Amino acid sequence: MDLKTVDAGLLQSRYRLTKQRAAVLRALGDGGHLSAETILEKVRAELPTVSLGTIYRTLDILRAIGLVQVFSFGGSAARYEASLDKHHHLLCSTCRALENVQADGVGEIAAQIAAAKGFSDIDYGLTIVGRCESCGRKPGKNGAS
Amino acid sequence: MDLKTVDAGLLQSRYRLTKQRAAVLRALGDGGHLSAETILEKVRAELPTVSLGTIYRTLDILRAIGLVQVFSFGGSAARYEASLDKHHHLLCSTCRALENVQADGVGEIAAQIAAAKGFSDIDYGLTIVGRCESCGRKPGKNGAS
DNA sequence: CTCTCTGCAAAGCATTTGCACATTG
DNA sequence: CAATGTGCAAATGCTTTGCAGAGAG
């Protein structure tokens, strides 16, 4: 994640690039799909006094600017990640592992549907849920129980 | 929604088809994407003493059997609907209206991705978020700044 | 009679918010 | 100095759960 871009985006919205916000971005840059709680831990490694409230507020701002994407899979905490490239999600229903994937062609389909319905300014996301290779081997519960 | 199918599904899992459960299914059969709260109201029209806890428990069972689908868009209550046909969602980010749409071709894309990653027993969902026609006209909080 | 289900109320989490103080420009 | 950001803690909203009694097989 390029801090300059971030700064520009923030300033443009009259937000300031504080050390807390930079730390949140750094935490997200590290990798994957993090929960607010996990981000808090990471950020506290640098700034021990940060509060969860600040994490949420920061994530909300970053999302508004479009730098962060949020995913909520019912049932538990939302997961946040930096908006790098456009991608989709492959979630293992058993171990909850989450992987990014590309899905060519979906964008056009989504745009077409949205246009037909009069929607504008759209975003779209494809989520595939199933059993990953390793969970597929284990005894686990099958689809039809 | 066919009660016989439901009953079979429930029995097969050692669950009983009680009047509360039937009422929840009837509420879902009526239409759209309901929140637990809305389902509660509908069910209370027939069974005034039903509790929210029972609604949630019932929805959870129905989901486990595959008769109900749940959607959580971060931020607010989950929405439940009967699993009738395969479809996707078009959500207005402003008024939160939710509409079902067909999306031909997505299934193949999803299957292909899943196969490539070794996933089995998959399901997939495409969610398109944007501003619906009427909200697009009003002063939105998004878009042109 | 035994096992499952229900209502109620309390508990549990994730997330949001009010407020006084700290920080930034 | 004026405006924005932060920490803390309390509040909120959705969902889950323990328990004792009710209902089904």
pLDDT in tens, B66-93: 889 898 877 688 999 998 778 899 988 8
Q: What is the CA radius of gyration of chain B?
A: 18
Judgement on whether residues B76 and B101 belong to the same structural domain of the protein: no
Based on the domain organization, do B8 and B79 belong to the same domain?
A: yes
**Does B36 fall in a domain?**
yes
Closest residue to D25 (CA, C1′):
B16
pLDDT confidence of residue B141: 42
- The amino acid at residue B73 is F
pLDDT score at B101: 93
Q: What are the angstrom distances between the C-alpha of A142 and each of A131, B28, B119? A: 9, 26, 13
Q: How far apart are CA A50 and CA A55, in angstroms?
A: 8
* A140: confidence class by pLDDT, cuts 50, 70, 90: very low
Both tokens of A7, joined, read: 């700064």
* Mean local confidence (pLDDT), B9-32: 82
Q: Where does residue A50 fall: left (phi above 0), alpha (psi -120 to 50 degrees), or beta otherwise? A: beta
> pLDDT-based confidence at A75, cuts 50/70/90?
low
CATH number assigned to the domain comprising residue B110: 3.30.1490.190
Check pLDDT > 50 for residue A144: no
pLDDT above 90 (res A57): yes
Are B57 and B117 contained in the same domain? no
Tokens encoding B111: 């299957």
For residue A37, the domain's CATH number is 1.10.10.10
**Do the Cβ atoms of A20 and A40 come closer than 8 Å?**
no
The answer to whether residue A138 is domain-embedded is: no
What is the edge-to-edge ordering of all strands in the sheet holding B79-82? Answer: B34-35, B79-82, B68-71
Asked whether the beta carbons of residue B120 and residue A131 sit closer than 8 angstroms, the reply is yes
Q: What is the mean pLDDT of residues A120-128?
A: 91
What digits encode the pLDDT tens for the residues B93-144? Answer: 888 888 999 999 999 999 999 999 999 989 899 999 999 998 877 654 443 3
- Asked if strand C comes closer than 7 Å to A37 Cβ, the answer is yes
Residue B77 lies in a domain: yes
Average pLDDT over every residue of B2-25: 78
Do A107 and A69 fall into the same domain? no
**Judgement on whether residues A79 and A126 belong to the same structural domain of the protein:** no
Q: Which two tokens mark B2?
A: 């066919």
The Cα A106–Cα A119 span in angstroms is 16
Pair A79, A116 in one domain: no
Task: Give which of B94, B105, B106 is closest to B136, Cα–Cα.
Answer: B94
The answer on B22 and B79 residing in a single domain is yes
Q: Is residue B25 located within the same domain as residue B5?
A: yes
Q: Which of A104, A117, A132 is nearest residue B119 as measured by Cβ atoms?
A: A132
Full domain range(s) for residue A123: 85-133
Examine residue A141 and state whether it is found in any structural domain, yes or no.
no
**What pLDDT does residue A71 have?**
87
Query: With the C-alpha atoms ordered B134, B136, B140, B142, is the resulting torsion angle positive or negative?
Result: positive
User: Across A71-75, A85-89, B119-123, which has the greatest mean pLDDT?
Assistant: B119-123
pLDDT at residue number B144: 34
**How many whole angstroms separate alpha carbon B49 and alpha carbon B19?**
12
Residue A139 lies in a domain: no
Any idea how long chain B is?
145
In a domain, A144, yes or no: no
Contact state of A121 with B131 under an 8 Å Cβ cutoff: yes
pLDDT higher than 50, residue B42? yes
Answer yes or no: do B57 and B104 share one domain. Answer: no
Is strand C less than 7 A from the beta carbon of A44?
no
pLDDT band at B6 (very low <50, low <70, confident <90, very high): low
Q: Which residue has the higher pLDDT, B1 or A117?
A: A117
CA A144 / C1′ D23 distance in Å: 29
Q: How many CB atoms lie within 10 A of CB A55?
A: 25
Residues A78, A89 within the same domain: no
Q: How far apart are CA B62 and CA B24, in angstroms?
A: 10
More confident position, B145 or A41? A41
Asked if residue A128 and residue A91 are part of one domain, the reply reads yes
Is A145 inside any structural domain? no
Is the pLDDT assigned to residue A117 strictly greater than 70?
Answer: yes
pTM of the predicted structure, to 2 decimals: 0.80
Q: Which of residues 57-96 of B touch strand C (CB under 7 A)?
A: 57-58, 74-75
Tell which A residues from 65 to 104 touch B, by Cβ distance under 8 Å. 70-75, 78, 88, 90, 92, 99, 101-104
Total number of domains in chain B: 2
The C1' atom of D16 and the CA atom of B53 lie apart, in whole Å, by 8
A53 is near strand D: CB distance < 7 Å: yes
Name the least confident of A5-19, A21-35, B25-39. Answer: A5-19
Rounded Cα–Cα distance for residues B145 and B130 (Å): 16
Which residue in A has a C-alpha nearest to residue B11's C-alpha?
A: A145
Residue B103: predicted pLDDT: 92
Residue A95 predicted with pLDDT over 50: yes
Which residue, counting CA atoms, is nearest to the C1' of nucleotide C15? A56
Residue B59 maps to a domain = yes
- Does residue A77 sit in the same domain as residue A111? no
